Structure 1
Amino acid sequence: MSEQSRPRRPVRTGALAAALTAALALLCCTGGAGAFFLTELGGDSAEQFAPASMDCTGDFEVDATGTMPRFAEYGERQLRNAAVIIKVGQEMKVPPRGWVIAVATAMQESRLLNLANSTVGESQDIPNEGIGADHDSVGLFQQRASWGTVAQRMNPEYASRKFYEKLVDVADWEKLPLTVAAQQVQISAFPDAYAKHEELAARIVDALAGGAARTALIAGQDVCDAAAGGEIAASGWTAPIPGGVGSGFRTASRPGHNGVDIAAPKGTLIRASATGRVLVSRCDPDRRGRLTCNVDGWPGKGGCGWFVDVLHAQGFITRYCHLVSRPRVAAGDTVQAGEVIGEVGSSGNSSGPHLHFEVHVEGDRSSRGAIDPVPFMRSKGAPLKGAG
């Protein structure tokens, strides 16, 4: 709900981040000679996290009356409401990032249902899809009386338009973390709650609008699969560096390689792939237990060198290894998508400058949680260059 402006508040991922900070110690972050530390590979294919539509053609027109895609979390009625939210955003020429923010906000506020309050529900004067419990708040976004009449706020098109009107007035809203942008509009008592919906909201936008969450806004144009050089996709993700993938994920020659190696010159800036909380930022010991990250490593040395783990919404974790020096962030810091966290180096088990990049699921920092970053990042509209 919204009444007045308040100061911006930082993103926090809550109890999950605190628990993970003290969770499993890193087994090993790189393949090659260091892979013998890994005893169980496990992990799932990132293809399961791909959007319902992997095509991103630039044709994002939504049919709110047509056949709805299937999502276990939401039914047809809720998805039609999401389609209305997206269609209004299109009509207002709001970029797809705004659609993701709006859908995620409605997911938190109303579960994508057009809710009435008890007064409206008892009178049955206005059709509704359930009764909310928040004072005079009604509709998809649980907007209060200052946003319009009850009939207006219970109209999904009107409610969506009012949300977008306030969103686009927020300075640099496209670059803000979703939870911050949504809070600037809604002024919720629970501002951090929006973040947990970003992942599914992006998948819903992709399914309803032809992969639109995979676009990045570049020179005023929504460009598909372009978040590879620091740009942020509508999904909220960006590639960590604009290099090409060399050694891949768990290849026949390196079955314990739980990520991919991205070639780049020493000193290349490394960016957080999505908004999140830093879980680990330190020097990883080599095979002999030594903390020798301030010098270039070599094959067989073991360890990630200087490395960072970041926890994102929905339990995703990204890992960045072989930094040239101490990372720019510390455990407990909140980082935004695209924020510089360090520079490419060759510390640890490394034969030359590159970034070893991993993606883990379900908050599992061990090898069991690792998935192939290539299809995962492609599904976010932030493909790793050189990757098929």
Structure 2
Amino acid sequence: MPEPSPNPKRRRRLLRFGAAFVVLLAVAGYLAVQYLTGSAAPRCRVVSGKGDGASYEFTPEQAANAATISAVGTTRGMPERAVTIALATALQESGLRNIEHGDRDSLGLFQQRPSQGWGTSRQIMDPTYAAGVFYEHLAKVPDYTQLPLTVAAQQVQRSGYPEAYAKHEPDAGLLAAALTGRTAATLTCQGRPAQTGTGGPDAVRAALVRDFGRDVLQAAGAEVGTRRPSPSSTATATSTAAPAADAVTIPVPRKAAAAGSVSRRGWELAHWAVANSSALHIARVSFAGHEWSRGGFANEWRTTGGSDGKASTAEVRIVTGE
């Protein structure tokens, strides 16, 4: 006699489990392919320099915009508190994204409005310009460094939701501490090259000038060179030489200023480079006996052996390449 057919309820349950398993496998396969091909969105992370476990994760796009906001502020001589206010404002207004839409004619990182005299649409969509005009208005607020962040930001923005800036102050504070160089080795990015944009020394130099002004290269005497790794002693005559790694070396000037200013300037530049690592295809950044590199060690700054503590603060080295 033929065997009885399975219970209909049991069969439907088996089919549901089977379908769910197939979907799970498909999702896992998709994520694996995305990761292996570099398509999955890379992440950046900033941690507290106090060792209290505070941290903030964000995207390379947000990191690059935050680095620009900070660089424009310090180049104008604005204090770290001003950078924190600017970053918290951009986090609230645009999520640190340079968006082409907003309430009425609001645009860009700070949702500035051409109709309200903030500049042309094209100017406002330039992060460097947008940050600069924000700082211009902030500098006119009396005693803004002594005001609560929400009050200072509101004096500039005239937002309908003035209290909304407060929730971004902790994250903005972490970003400002790293990007102004006050905390060392606290910002990392996975660093996979972006699908758009170009890298190389010329692109790095142009971005440095864009954010910090020409003095960052002219006064410091930044040099560009091509460093070709020495062949390994075990290499054979038929082996292919490693590709050249193009580097930008930025000497950090030793100004007669407050103690620690050299180190702070160096970490400002080093963190800026890591924040721009995806956009500019930066593979490695080194400063003060520490090195960040794309790939297996992208989530940490490693100490490098054999460096002189004083000499190691003399320059920031940015290496580009695939």
Q: Same fold (TM over 0.5)?
A: no
| Bucket of the pairwise TM-score, normalised by the shorter protein | 0.3 to 0.5
Larger Rg, first or second structure (1 or 2) = 2
Greater relative contact order (Cα 8 A, min sep 6): structure 1 or 2? Answer: 1
